Amino acid sequence: MNYDFEGNYSQLPHEIAAENDMVDAKVRDGVLEPLRVPDCHRHLVRFSPVWMIKKKMLHNELRQRYRLLVDNSASFVNVRTPRLPCHFPARELVLDKLTQPGRSLGEADTSDCFHNIDADKRYRWLVALFSEKYGPLQFTTLSQGHVNSVHYCLKLVYWLYAHLRAKGLITERASSTFFPTGLGTRSDDAECWAENHMDDLIFSGGKNDAKSLDQFRNIVVEMNRLGFPLK
């Protein structure tokens, strides 16, 4: 199917407004930039459809939130890219592993962590979209909708997990084998224990609740220092 067209892909007025707001934010953040394509490749440009996927609303939210998903099949990026593995445990398994009576739980949810992964400048034009406000745009980072966005996002969070362990902000797991999602034996003496779930880090405190909360704050400060945007 050829997606060689221009226009807004949202149908309803509130979706169009939400899409424009999201594009505005991504332009401000440097995630989207004006389309730059070599003259010899201009005839190959295909504008990707943008799907507005509804997010689950929290109990105190009044406005519907959306996820901006780019269909990379327009430029055949997904078809030509080998699919890489992306396995992670269910959230229920992680919580069951961490939860203990009287222990604090914390979560650091990295906001769209795939936007922390830069795209090669030579090939950014392959994922192009058209904005009624800005005209032709391209992603400067990995876009959500890429066949391997989950794989690269997991690699980024695994690196963060290893970094926090090296800094002493989370406790070394007791297991002798490395498994990224951390299914080792939990120590009762741990000050702060953490597990990965997708692009989230879920923390469990130790016996000293005040000390655990302080440790949670230190982790968030370190993530902000590294440039990981948090929700």
Choose from 11-15, 36-40, 76-80, 88-92 the range with maximum mean pLDDT: 36-40
Q: How high is the mean pLDDT of the chain?
A: 75
pLDDT band of residue 231 (cuts 50, 70, 90) is low
Report the predicted TM-score, pTM, of the whole model to 2 decimal places.
0.69
Amino acid at 164: L
CA distance 216 to 209: 11
Q: What is the pLDDT of residues 158-176, one digit of tens each?
A: 888 788 888 877 765 544 4
CA distance 220 to 99: 20
Q: What is the pLDDT of residues 103-155, one digit of tens each?
A: 777 777 776 677 878 888 998 998 888 888 899 999 998 887 777 777 887 88
pLDDT of residue 24: 92
Residue 2 has pLDDT above 50, yes or no: no
Using a CB cutoff of 8 Å and minimum separation of 24, what contacts does 120-124 make? 124/33, 124/36
pLDDT band of residue 78 (cuts 50, 70, 90) is low
Contact 39, 50 (CB under 8 A): no
pLDDT of residue 164: 82
Cβ burial, residue 151 (10 Å; 0-12/13-18/19+): middle
pLDDT of residue 139: 92
Q: What is the pLDDT of residues 13-67, one digit of tens each?
A: 777 788 888 899 899 989 999 999 999 988 888 888 887 777 777 767 777 778 8
pLDDT of residue 220: 81
Percentage of the chain lying above the pLDDT 70 cut = 74
Return the higher-pLDDT residue of 30 and 86: 30
Q: Phi/psi class of residue 211: alpha, beta or left (left: φ > 0; alpha: ψ in -120 to 50)?
A: alpha
